[in-house]
Amino acid sequence: MSYRKGVLVNQLIQSSLWLLAGGVVLMFVGCQSTVYPPKEVEKTLALSMVQAQKHLQAGNQAEASYLLNGVRQIDSEYPGIDKVLSQIDPRYRYRKSARGINLAWRVPVKRHFFTRLLLYIPDRIFDALDIVTADVNIGPGVYAEGHVTRMLQVGGGGKATLGIGLHTQRSLGLENLDAGGIHLLLFGMEGAWMAKVGTSGVFSGGAGNVGIQGPKDEIYQKVYDYWGIGGSVNAGLVGAKVEFHPLQLFDFILGFIGVDFLHDDFAHSRGLRFSERDITLLKKMSRYAASRETLRRYHLAMKTTEKQQKREAGKNKYQFQIKDEVGP
């Protein structure tokens, strides 16, 4: 009798684990369930290209580069993008960094000595606040994870939350985060989209990631800190997260001797100047980038369109040849 009970308990545990794993996968898929039509994606990319060229004409190379990066993240072979990028000074071109989201995307500026002196103390205060980030949030979700850098991460789930607190890149304010996935040490799959409004302005980013996690993965350039140590939990409609950022501590220490390791000091840089239209386009592109199905459908549609164009071009060429041979 005890043997049968043991077998029954073992089967029950196995079934529960399978249900849990299945639920996590379903939540991962559910968080990416919004699939955007290829025509909408194409229109957004076209408008982003126009906005980028307007910024170039106004001399805002960093802003143009940031918009173009959004386009390239979705379609690296978008027509004309390489030509526009070639007009941007290499210093302002978007590049992935192992420092990831810690590295602030700001424009270097030369300020007067007394201005830099006045900003010295505020910069040290903000550097200190960057070391630990935390927030409390509301929104539907079942999510729990812990990590000692993203090389050692365990947990998963799905959530769509709005949080208030201190976030990355000196942002004290609100953060909207939609995320879903599962992680086991260095391996994982996750889709995430984030938008925040706070003391650093408006920022949004999104990406999907499957497989071995690396610091230069897009999701760690736009959403999470690869080197962070912390965790988050969401149960039902409430949640919280806290994270320690080692690179920010390093930046804080170096700041006392005038070294801006993460390029976030107000004394040496300014924020990006985006219009409302720019912000809307960036938000849309970050959502597309976080949806693997949206990207798959877009690229499939583009391939089909290219085939049709080539077929039509070949057909027209053949018709012209016939006309030339037969005559009017």
pTM: 0.71
Mean pLDDT to the nearest integer, 77-86: 88
pLDDT value of position 6? 53
| Whole-number Cα distances in Å, 97 to 144, 183, 217, 224 | 28, 22, 9, 13
Pairing of strands 201-212, 107-108: unpaired
Structural domain spans, the chain: 1-31+132-244
Residue 188 has pLDDT above 60, yes or no: yes
Q: Where are the alpha helices (DSSP H) in 154-259?
A: 218-222, 246-255
Express each pLDDT in 243-261 by its tens digit.
999 999 999 999 999 899 9
Distance CA 297, CA 289 (A): 12
Q: What pLDDT shows up at residue 305? A: 65
* N-term to C-term CA, the chain: 96
pLDDT digits (tens, 9 = 90+) for 83-120: 888 888 888 877 788 999 898 888 888 899 999 999 99
**Where are the alpha helices (H) located in the chain, listed in sequence order?**
2-31, 38-57, 61-74, 81-85, 113-129, 218-222, 246-255, 276-290, 292-326
Query: How many angstroms separate the CA atoms of 195 and 81, rounded?
Result: 25
Region of poorest pLDDT, from 46-60, 118-132, 201-215? 201-215
pLDDT of residue 132: 94
CA–CA gap between residue 257 and residue 267 (Å, rounded) = 14
Task: Provide the pLDDT for residue 326.
Answer: 36
pLDDT tens-digit series, residues 265-299: 989 888 888 888 998 898 888 888 878 888 889 99
